[in-house]
Structure 1
């Protein structure tokens, strides 16, 4: 796309199993906005679910998002990095040419949650790339200034596209009772992209005893590669007994459920120590049952966490820049926009255990 072009190429969601590469109008920049040329954009599990199952978070025609007013078709991509192309009137602290990533939460700023700083719990929240306001799977997009986070020189753009999923994990660990500097043990149930991001976060925050339970042999390899101290196979090992053995008989101080299955939640709760906390990160497709007597008689806690909140992106960027976290190994494949369906969605559907994060190289798509 040259500087004068008024059209751009974008990955557009039209409904279940209907994603297209289209030419669309280049968005007009308004005061308080920043125009970004995306360079790398990750494919999220949420994107895959929208593709396979149809509209869930993406608003359907007739039911526009309450803030953006948009429905599909819309541009996908909420895990992205790029360069600043243009800044709107009133924007301060962001310059043309800056290397950036985008915090994609959309929030109204007026509800009770937002007024408490809990923008991730906004009554009307959404996501850039899922609810409207453009997305990262295109050649040029416009976002609010507040969403733009500058990347320091030591954080390459490929890694910048990982800040969003890492912030989900960072928020979960930060919100949990785990605190750096102690001898706490942590159990991570589920070694998919978010579970592995939790492992990276726990390593970056100095956890001395990280235990992962995961069915897939390949994902167990990833967990070990990313720094887990102990990796368990629930198909062949008694996870509860092993966790107790690895924690001196006490059980884990904190657990993170990144699997979202009944078996996972049962195992994680039983593997906790008395007064331990299970943190739920997984998005559930159905109701779960919880053994309330585990909560009552052993004073355990169950904590839900949602995406990330204000300040999490900046903390993740600092952790990467300082060397406390090196998430480069999470990138398992890089593709072009033209291959988004065959090499992106279909790969994550048919061979998901072999991949942590597939990135789309926007420049290679032109």
Structure 2
């Protein structure tokens, strides 16, 4: 059994909706400041700003560059499966999960590195490259942050979204070249105009809505790649005939694996601005009235709500 050094972090976190069994201190997306380090830690300094890759994974699972540790048995997350959480005041984590970030990046923005890394991993899974055209189905938090990654990597981004507020956020944040409302236009027909009748190179399903999946498949070019990003809680169907006749690849993606460093680099280099995605900042005492209530009753207006302990 390997030994792991520990880092102690004073937290500054971002909150989202989750499902868990009490008593649990929730939230798996957070940033913080190192206030103590364990024996053997010599590459992290007290006072350094960090983000945490919040995995709970067995100690004997390797986490090297080519290891698929995110698919390991019984994988879980801090804030979902115990071991503290982002709404704690302080937390101790193994050194391998701690990623330094420039102190020039505000801590509230740094708290979005975790969901941004979800988008980065989806991009990696797609095999997309600069110059490709991507269609993103759904402009919720992950769809928007994924789109930010795609723009930073040099793709043309088309977003399809019904919600007026989410469409506005996509335009405001500058993460989409085109925003299409399926209640007002034929999305597939518009995509074909944009792509000169070729279809998109890659598509990302971020909605858990079957009609969106159907649209993505119909809008694909032959040999294109559809990446399913959202976690479906219900069965789905897909037009298998189109998948076969166009030789499409349908790929799943979950969380992240060795994605944090590149995601952090994109933010530090100014290629991604996280400020537009923070839609509210609240105190811990307002977590229910201004946090959970907003996400339950007015979630279209919320991308990420930052909670200060």
TM-score by length of 2: 0.95
Query: What does 1:1-366 align with in structure 2 at a 5 Å threshold?
Result: 32-39=5-12, 41-45=13-17, 47=18, 50=19, 58=20, 60=21, 72-108=22-58, 110=60, 117-180=67-130, 183-207=131-155, 209-227=156-174, 228-310=176-258, 312-362=259-309
Deviation, 1:267, is 0.8
Deviation, 1:261, is 1.0
Per-residue CA deviation, residues 202-240 of structure 1 (Å, 9 max, x unaligned), is: 111111x21000010110111112220100001121111
5+ long unaligned stretches in structure 2: none
Q: Between the two structures, name the one with larger relative contact order (CA 8 Å, sep ≥ 6).
A: 2
Give 1:63's aligned residue. Answer: none
User: In the aligned structure 2, how far is the partner of 1:111 from the partner of 1:288?
Assistant: 32
Per-residue CA deviation, residues 258-280 of structure 1 (Å, 9 max, x unaligned), is: 00111111111111111111101
User: In the aligned structure 2, how far is the partner of 1:113 from the partner of 1:146?
Assistant: 8
Per-residue CA deviation, residues 43-95 of structure 1 (Å, 9 max, x unaligned), is: 224x2xx1xxxxxxx3x5xxxxxxxxxxx412112111111111111223112
Contact 2:227–2:252 (8 Å) recurs in 1:
yes
User: In the aligned structure 1, how far is the partner of 2:47 from the partner of 2:146?
Assistant: 32
Structure whose CA Rg is larger = 1
5+ long unaligned stretches in structure 1: 1-29, 51-57, 61-71
User: In the aligned structure 2, how far is the partner of 1:44 from the partner of 1:168?
Assistant: 14
Give the length in aligned residue pairs: 306
User: In the aligned structure 2, how far is the partner of 1:232 from the partner of 1:197?
Assistant: 17
Per-residue CA deviation, residues 91-145 of structure 1 (Å, 9 max, x unaligned), is: 2311211111111022225469999611111111000111011111021111111
Contact 1:114–1:121 (8 Å) recurs in 2:
no
TM-score by length of 1: 0.80
Contact 1:31–1:89 (8 Å) recurs in 2:
no
Per-residue CA deviation, residues 243-270 of structure 1 (Å, 9 max, x unaligned), is: 1111111111000000011111111111
* RMSD of equivalent CA atoms: 1.8
User: In the aligned structure 2, how far is the partner of 1:261 from the partner of 1:143?
Assistant: 36
Contact 2:61–2:69 (8 Å) recurs in 1:
no
User: In the aligned structure 2, how far is the partner of 1:82 from the partner of 1:115?
Assistant: 25
Contact 1:109–1:119 (8 Å) recurs in 2:
no
